[in-house]
Structure 1
Amino acid sequence: MNSADLVKILEEHKLWVTSMCESGSRANLRYYDLSDTNLRGANLSGADLSGANLSGADLSGANLRGANLRGANLRGANLRDADLSGAYLRGANLSGADLPDHTFVIMGEKYAITITNGEYVRAGCQNHTVEEWRKYSKEEIAEMDGRNALRFYPRLLKIIDFYLGEGEHPAWLNEPDKESEQVA
């Protein structure tokens, strides 16, 4: 992609973001080769960068809030001070990437987990602040994905505690499970 085309896409995307999706157009950079591109400070919030090659790109200070980076190659990319809140990073290659402090991608769990800037945690399709995750009621967790979410929630809190330090857990986690009592 030449730089003039990229500038046009970024301008249209900026208009799309600032007009709250009323005008302009969302940046669709799926599978584009943007390796070694200077995107320092770019506003790519909500952009589709899935499968894009961003290896070695300078994304420092970029707004990638809510961007789709699924399967993107971010190997060696500079993401220092980038806002990755709510970004979808499943399958992204982050080898050697310079990530913001307190940003983690946890693989091998029931749900894909991303901790961004030590403030937001995405588990599966749910993205909430650390404090929100620590205070959810049993009913709120069940609404997310039923029994699967209820079984996984204590594990998620342990993961959050491990990466960000121990914090409070809702009291209902210490209550006996009524279904288990009825079976016994």
Structure 2
Amino acid sequence: MNQEKLNIILEKHEKWLRDKGGERADLSNIDLSGLDLSGSKLERAYLKNTNLTRANLSNVNMQSTYLIGVNFEEACLTEADLSNATLHCANLGGANLSGVNLEGAYLIRVNLSDAYLNWVNWQNIKGLTAVIVQVDTTRRNNQITYIKELDIWTTGCFQGTLDELKAAVEQTHKHNEKLRNRYYRVIDFILNEVAE
């Protein structure tokens, strides 16, 4: 599908969402790789086995949408709203999920390998174990998040393994023992939580 045809479908879907006529979007089994859907309102659209590889989905609204078998590989989903969405067998490998709202989302057999997961809202997520702790640091609203199934830690602009997190804490806060110890207390708390 080309961008022009996609824009017409998206426009009709937005009208349908506002009860102004239009038509519910059915983008199932369609190749939309590399296309621009940024800022689109796709709530309740049909997206099954849709190919969105390397597509621009920044600021897209897919609240409460069923995303079954969708390929988001290397797509840009920055600031997208996937709250209460169901992602089943979706491929998010290498996708940029910075700032994505996944509150209440249900992730079933989702591939998140090499995805960029900083600043994601993980609250009430289902299907993954995410432990999020607010940390009083030099930055406002700083959080440390650990996603158990992926063995990934995130905080601020950092994403990596536990060893990489500890090295980053040592490097960044080498002159502030109080803050460094605070990070380690939070890390220990998270590890104890997931061990239970």
What amino acid maps onto 1:78 in structure 2?
A: Y
Aligned residues: 148
Query: How far apart are 1:108 and its partner, in Å?
Result: 4.5
Paired with 1:6 and 1:52, the residues of 2 have a C-alpha distance of 22
- Which residue is 1:8 aligned to? 31
- Which residue is 2:119 aligned to? 90
What amino acid maps onto 1:34 in structure 2?
A: M
Higher strand share: 2
- Which residue is 2:59 aligned to? 31
- Which residue is 1:59 aligned to? 87
- Which residue is 1:176 aligned to? none
CA RMSD of aligned residues (A): 3.7
Deviation string for 1:123-157 (max 9, x for gaps)? 221222124435x3x9x832xx3657865433222
Identity %: 28
What secondary structure, in the 3-state scheme, does the structure 2 residue paired with 1:160 have?
Answer: helix
- Which residue is 1:112 aligned to? 143
Query: Do the aligned residues in 2 keep the contact of 1:71 with 1:89 (CA within 8 Å)?
Result: yes
What amino acid maps onto 1:124 in structure 2?
A: G
Mark the CA change 1:83 to 1:28 in structure 2 (over 3 Å): closer, same or farther.
same
Once superposed, which parts of structure 1, at least 4 consecutive aligned residues long, lie more than 4 Å away?
83-86, 146-151
Map 1:1-184 → 2, pairs under 5 A: 1=10, 2-4=25-27, 7-9=30-32, 11-12=33-34, 26-65=54-93, 67-84=95-112, 87-90=116-119, 92=121, 94-101=122-129, 103-110=130-137, 111-117=142-148, 119-134=151-166, 136=167, 141-142=170-171, 145=172, 147=174, 152-165=179-192
Structure 1 unmatched runs, 5+: 14-23, 167-184
Paired with 2:93 and 2:100, the residues of 1 have a C-alpha distance of 15
Mark the CA change 1:61 to 1:49 in structure 2 (over 3 Å): closer, same or farther.
same
Query: How far apart are 1:34 and its partner, in Å?
Result: 1.5
What secondary structure, in the 3-state scheme, does the structure 2 residue paired with 1:155 have?
Answer: helix
Paired with 2:180 and 2:73, the residues of 1 have a C-alpha distance of 28
Higher helix share: 1
Q: Give the TM-score taking structure 1 as reference length.
A: 0.58
Structure 2 unmatched runs, 5+: 1-9, 11-24, 36-51
Query: Do the aligned residues in 1 keep the contact of 2:57 with 2:76 (CA within 8 Å)?
Result: yes
Query: Do the aligned residues in 1 keep the contact of 2:152 with 2:162 (CA within 8 Å)?
Result: yes
Query: How far apart are 1:162 and its partner, in Å?
Result: 1.0
Query: How far apart are 1:69 and its partner, in Å?
Result: 3.4
Mark the CA change 1:104 to 1:84 in structure 2 (over 3 Å): closer, same or farther.
farther
